[in-house]
Structure 1
Amino acid sequence: MSGASDLAAALRRNTLGAARADPKARGADWRTATVDTVGSDGTVTTTDGIVARRMETYLDATAGDLIVVGVSGAGSWLAWGRLGAGTSSTWTPYTPTFAAASGGAALGNALLDAEYALRGDQCTVRIGFVAGTTTAFGSGGLRWGLPFTAAALPSASMFWTGSAMCADAGSTYYPGVCRILPNTSYVVGISPITATGGTATEWRSITPFTWGSTDYASFGVTYKIA
């Protein structure tokens, strides 16, 4: 009798296991998964082999994303979106790159603090930067990296703008704007005035003043991501 009971128990376990593995048997379900690869057809493949179509709101999918996936009773998988970074805040911290258009820039011991908030394909970014004693500014326009590449626009002459401010050793302030060009992944600052009163251009190593230790910059901008 015990042998028959053991066999019956084993059969029940196998049947339950098969039902749990088969969405047609268990019905619709959801769980978390990690993205392995991102397809060009709007799908992602998870590290355990699930191919799921991304929801329209799941933008800029990246390998390593921890996401929620759902399956229908017919076995079709959907990738609902990326999970938060572990806090209740809608803001996610990130570390921007720091560069100059013609090279030579280096962050050194500068302080760089940034975060972004996503709402669909709308990304709002805040960046704060304080130069250090070993920061190098290179040549050409200074660039601070964005968390996501900006979307295309009908013309290369169009762009997104936001607010910006920089200060020369914290004593002289230069309010301005920041600009994000389409299909780029960085923001630049532009001030209407310079230390010498000349025509302003994008912030560079010598505009709107000669940058050095303790000089700082701040940006706030909302743009559409690719």
Structure 2
Amino acid sequence: MSKSSHASTRQLAGALKRQAGRVGAQDPNVRGANWWLATVETVGANGTVVADGLTYRRMETYQAPAVGDVIVVTQSGNGNLLAYGRTAGTTAPAGAWTAIPLASGFTSTHTVFGPAQYRIVTAHGTPRVELRGSVDATSAVTSQTNFSTALPTAARPSVVRTWVGRRNYSMDTKGIAVMEIQPNGVMSVFGSVSPNHTDWFALDGCYYDL
């Protein structure tokens, strides 16, 4: 017995509706306010990323975006697209804490403060490098001395940047060390002659703008 034309029409309409629902659920342009995962295809210079063919404005908390990031994105009811940030991966993302490449004569064994590290972040819309940990001098530092080899290009400032950090302290030494980084990415510390020489210095709370 053949189906009536009305039944066939209802079935076709139902199938089309289900198909449209499936397509809409996968298309950010039609599914309305929601969140989902997307993969970054390109990184814009204006605070945006392109993921799965759409352009998203990054939240300030989404630092150092990279192609291949799997990110959490959302769309508002009026169509605005935002990228909240990356999900955890098997390797450290750009912007993660990274060991500072120390020069010969310096180590990072003052374990009470942790290893010497840096990371690239954005603060109030400005890229900067944050520092933490400490550095030990194999021999006391009595003058300006390079304590790192060159940091990667992304962590190098456009001009010389300086900051002040903690250093070893005793009755005849002041517990302050002045440091700087050159545009070539090399960091140095300013020591002084005995008895105020520098044996170790800390980087906690220090940063410089790029």
Tell me which interval the TM-score lies in, with the shorter structure as reference length.
0.5 to 0.7
Structure-1 residue corresponding to 2:146:
141
Counterpart amino acid of 1:43?
T
Counterpart CA distance in 1 for 2:152 and 2:168 is 18
Structure-2 residue corresponding to 1:165:
167
Counterpart CA distance in 2 for 1:165 and 1:147 is 28
Structure-2 residue corresponding to 1:220:
204
Q: C-alpha displacement at 1:185, in angstroms?
A: 4.9
Q: Quickly say closer, same or farther: Cα 1:24–1:174, change in 2 above 3 A.
A: closer
Normalised by the length of structure 1, the TM-score is 0.53
* Superposition RMSD in Å: 4.7
SS at match of 1:13: helix
Q: C-alpha displacement at 1:69, in angstroms?
A: 2.0
SS at match of 1:19: helix
Q: Quickly say closer, same or farther: Cα 1:15–1:84, change in 2 above 3 A.
A: closer
| Correspondence 1:40 to 2:45 | yes
Q: Quickly say closer, same or farther: Cα 1:177–1:35, change in 2 above 3 A.
A: farther
| Correspondence 1:21 to 2:21 | no
For structure 1, the residue ranges without an aligned partner over 5 or more in a row are 87-91, 100-104, 133-139, 198-207, 210-214
Task: Verify the 8 A CA contact 1:146 1:186 in the aligned structure 2.
Answer: no
Q: Quickly say closer, same or farther: Cα 1:194–1:148, change in 2 above 3 A.
A: farther
SS at match of 2:117: strand
SS at match of 1:162: strand
In our comparison, the structure showing a higher alpha carbon Rg is: 2
Task: Verify the 8 A CA contact 2:35 2:73 in the aligned structure 1.
Answer: yes
Task: Verify the 8 A CA contact 2:163 2:208 in the aligned structure 1.
Answer: no
Structure-1 residue corresponding to 2:193:
194
SS at match of 1:143: coil
SS at match of 2:203: strand
Q: C-alpha displacement at 1:27, in angstroms?
A: 1.0
Match of 1:114 among 111, 117, 129: 117
Counterpart amino acid of 1:178?
M
Q: C-alpha displacement at 1:20, in angstroms?
A: 1.0
- Deviation track 1:153-174 (CA, whole Å, cap 9, x = no partner) reads xxx46x341304269xxxx997
Match of 1:11 among 7, 16, 21: 16
Counterpart amino acid of 1:96?
I
Aligned residues: 182
